[in-house]
Structure 1
Amino acid sequence: MFMDNILLSLARKAILPDIEFFANLGDWPLSTYDLPEKYPILSWCGSSESYDIILPTYDITESTLENMGRVMLDILSVQGNVEGPWENRISKLFWRGRDSNRYRLNLIKMSRDNPDLFNTSLTNFFFYRDEEHIYGPKSDYVSFFRFFDYKFQLAIDGTVAPYRMPYLLAGGSLIFKPDSKFFEHFYKDLIPNFHYIPVKKDLSDLVDKINWAIDNDEKAKEIAQNGRSFANENLLPRNIFCYHMHLFNELNKIIMSPVNILEDMEHIEQPKLQKCDCAVNVKDEL
């Protein structure tokens, strides 16, 4: 469904090349280096251990297609719902999420050891249910827009890269990003200590770096503003549409195999849209 929607939308706006590729509908990249043959697999998340061709995630792609519409979260809605300037935000790191990574559990312990620096808790237990009595209780839902009542955010991996990263950038808080083998389509353009603050994968230097940010408030504010500017310049709907289109055109240059429509393939038709009469209506005001 996710791939269908963006392809149908692009086909209504431009001429798409006639190409064949595999779309990975899971979170994990699939093209590991030990595969006997290489295939053009398009995925939402890449890693240093794979060679998938990376698309914008289904999350930001859907927010592009439904921008300011039925989706609750997109780059513009985040910025429109953030209240107050940097100076009014609380000087703590705020985080909510589920238990999809052991380091997230470590974060909860770190938060309890440093309550003056953190406001973090888990919203659901699935992977480590047997440890809920240690790292629980589960917290109540908090609107994503309220995350930015705080100056500091953490873009920590779940099962793969944190797909909330575009919205964290847009919110104007300072992002701490742990080292990771996973990445989204735009990570290579982010500059450490300019758009975000890098931290170690095990979070062992996170407390020190939060204290640095508190002691260097103007610099922290500047980096946070750089992150928001990056989102506005690279992650708005026009950028997501153009990225897809450019990728397909470049892919068309290197895929040499013919396109074969097999009998068991399903034709996905364009949805029936409301007819638009674009004729100019001249109104006589005299």
Structure 2
Amino acid sequence: MSPGLSSWQLLLLCLGVFRQEARVEAQAGSVPSAAKTLVWGPGLEANIVLPARFLYIQAVDGSGKNFTTSPGEKTFEVKIVSPAEQFTRIWTQILDRQDGSFLVRYRMYATYTDLHIHILLKGKHVAKSPFILKGPVYHEGCNCPQPSGSVWEAHMHCPPSYPQIDRDLSLFGSVDPDRNAQEIPKRFGQRQSLCHYTIKDNKVYVQTYGEHVGFRIFMDAILLSLTRKVQLPDMEFFVNLGDWPLEKRKPTENIHPIFSWCGSNNTRDIVMPTYDLTESVLETMGRVSLDMMSVQANTGPRWSEKNATAFWRGRDSRQERLELVKLSRAHPTMIDAAFTNFFFFKHDESLYGPLVKHVSFFDFFKYKYQINIDGTVAAYRLPYLLAGDSVVLKQDSGYYEHFYNELTPWEHYIPIRADLGDLLEKIQWAREHDKEAEKIALAGQQFARSHLMGDRIFCYYYKLFKEYARLQVTQPKVRKGMEFVEQPTDDLFPCYCHRTTTKDEL
């Protein structure tokens, strides 16, 4: 098992293995047992503050066997209340994952003293329901950071390390904020779009460089969210707001630490979770409709009922995508690939068009095989494709996201060559080895469920910042030209922080 997994994450993994090895129908006539059904997850812990908290329910019958198919969308009822309050502003959803388990998510719009989570099956309490979260239980908008980073990590069940962070930071023996503040703007500030951030006393300051700095909103948002939850170390760093990683010097040269949302094999940027995945975590049950939780309840038909065709939709942001559409035209029974937008190769629209209508992402999972092919850089849809119930055929690529190096070809996905030369062969292999392909699909899904949920994204950012801050050899400063990034205010539901003020020694 992976190091650093909490007991409930281990349970999640075990249930995934169970599903792979015992994928059989629930016994005819069996019904879930309130006493034997399992409930676990971070949403049952008061100290874990997330934009949308979540927990899991696994239906179990009276003989102790896990359901492996849905016992019915309305099987369980969840009520979350605070006895001290007449009304609770909490939005709750029960998501049926169609495999005998349910994901319950809830977003709090105020902070409460004690929460009681009632999970009911035909009016009977399930497992140890009601689960009582001793208050105060803080909501996402509450600015009440845990002063001890180590305590926060323990509460969050963060893994002890991330290989990608270790790999990225190993290139830097030390980091000099004074030198970087002079050199990086001169080197990149004219042609690229950058943010220069300083975190000082857990407050966020920024200065931007370049014309296209709109994506700064994503970085501001995660920093403000983190500083509401935990005391960050004082630090100073530069974020690349563009698609392509920037630092192309060799490690033996004077390389600069640049944080980017995407890495590549020939650059040295420090990789963070993508802005897309970051926003989906922050806005779960908010303004986004696609996130790691919603996908799990929209994985399409059962495997045996899915269309045995490889599917892809997207825009024309890479030559290989044109080749993919050409392959689809030549082999329509094997590949269904088409463009929904032309931007980069407009002169070729007559060759590769006509454009097709946008397809809901959830409808992708009507197909067994999902093709993941680079766009301008790595295709940021991979986390969601893995979380579905289809097998991913992933193009070999020089670009990567923060988690790619933890994926194993033929275990979590089926690899295809960068030039797509073996794509037809791999689709044919999957058709001829249906059980093996389904097993790969389930392993990829389990990886996404245990590594790419919101709690792990927050852990990754915190670990990255903590380890980076340790490399600093001069004092981070709020420099001339920087502006203070204010926390959003909530006049209707202010929260009162009960934390102590002792600061963690990093």
The interval holding the TM-score normalised by the smaller chain is over 0.9
- The match for 2:489 is 272
- The match for 2:350 is 133
C-alpha separation in 2, matches of 1:120 and 1:170: 21
- Give yes or no for contact 1:29–1:50 (8 Å, CA) kept in 2: yes
- The match for 2:295 is 78
Of 230, 235, 260, 1:19 maps to 235
- Give yes or no for contact 1:45–1:57 (8 Å, CA) kept in 2: yes
- The match for 2:425 is 208
Report the secondary structure of 1:168's partner residue: helix
TM-score normalised by structure 1 residue count: 0.95
C-alpha separation in 2, matches of 1:75 and 1:189: 18
Is 1:54 equivalent to 2:54 in the alignment? Answer: no
Q: Deviation digits for residues 212-251 of structure 1, max 9, x if unmatched?
A: 0001101000000000000001000000000000000010
Report the secondary structure of 1:17's partner residue: coil
Report the secondary structure of 2:483's partner residue: coil
| 1:34 CA displacement | 5.8
Is 1:219 equivalent to 2:464 in the alignment? Answer: no
Q: Deviation digits for residues 102-121 of structure 1, max 9, x if unmatched?
A: 00000011011111111110
C-alpha separation in 2, matches of 1:187 and 1:83: 25
C-alpha separation in 1, matches of 2:494 and 2:369: 47
- The match for 1:186 is 403
- The match for 2:20 is none
| 1:259 CA displacement | 1.2
- The match for 2:220 is 4
Report the secondary structure of 1:12's partner residue: helix
| 1:253 CA displacement | 1.2
Larger Rg: 2
| 1:260 CA displacement | 1.9
Q: Could you tell me which runs of 5 or more consecutive residues in structure 1 were left unpaired when the two chains were aligned.
A: 280-286
- Give yes or no for contact 2:310–2:368 (8 Å, CA) kept in 1: yes
| 1:278 CA displacement | 9.2
- Give yes or no for contact 2:300–2:389 (8 Å, CA) kept in 1: no
| 1:277 CA displacement | 6.7
- Give yes or no for contact 1:67–1:237 (8 Å, CA) kept in 2: no
Of 107, 119, 142, 2:359 maps to 142
- Give yes or no for contact 1:32–1:49 (8 Å, CA) kept in 2: yes
Of 456, 462, 466, 1:249 maps to 466
Report the secondary structure of 1:238's partner residue: helix
**Structure 2 counterpart of 1:49, one-letter code:** N
Aligned pairs, how many? 279
Q: RMSD across aligned C-alpha pairs, in angstroms?
A: 1.4
- The match for 1:63 is 280
**Structure 2 counterpart of 1:219, one-letter code:** E
Is 1:122 equivalent to 2:339 in the alignment? Answer: yes
- The match for 2:22 is none
Q: Could you tell me which runs of 5 or more consecutive residues in structure 2 were left unpaired when the two chains were aligned.
A: 1-216, 499-506
**Structure 2 counterpart of 1:58, one-letter code:** Y
Greater share of strand residues, 1 or 2?
2
- Give yes or no for contact 1:4–1:268 (8 Å, CA) kept in 2: yes
C-alpha separation in 2, matches of 1:277 and 1:38: 44
Is 1:169 equivalent to 2:375 in the alignment? Answer: no
**Structure 1 counterpart of 2:494, one-letter code:** K
- Give yes or no for contact 1:92–1:150 (8 Å, CA) kept in 2: yes
Aligned 1:84-123 pairs, distance under 5 A: 84-123=301-340
**Structure 2 counterpart of 1:235, one-letter code:** L
Query: After alignment, is 34-43 or 89-98 more displaced?
Result: 34-43
C-alpha separation in 1, matches of 2:371 and 2:461: 28
- Give yes or no for contact 1:68–1:76 (8 Å, CA) kept in 2: no
- Give yes or no for contact 1:94–1:150 (8 Å, CA) kept in 2: yes
Report the secondary structure of 1:241's partner residue: helix
| 1:13 CA displacement | 0.4
Q: Deviation digits for residues 113-134 of structure 1, max 9, x if unmatched?
A: 1111111101111111101000
| 1:85 CA displacement | 1.2
Report the secondary structure of 1:93's partner residue: strand
Report the secondary structure of 1:202's partner residue: coil
Where does structure 1 differ by over 6 angstroms across 4 or more consecutive aligned residues? none
Q: Deviation digits for residues 68-102 of structure 1, max 9, x if unmatched?
A: 32101101101112232111110001100000000
Greater share of helix residues, 1 or 2?
1
TM-score normalised by structure 2 residue count: 0.54
| 1:254 CA displacement | 1.0
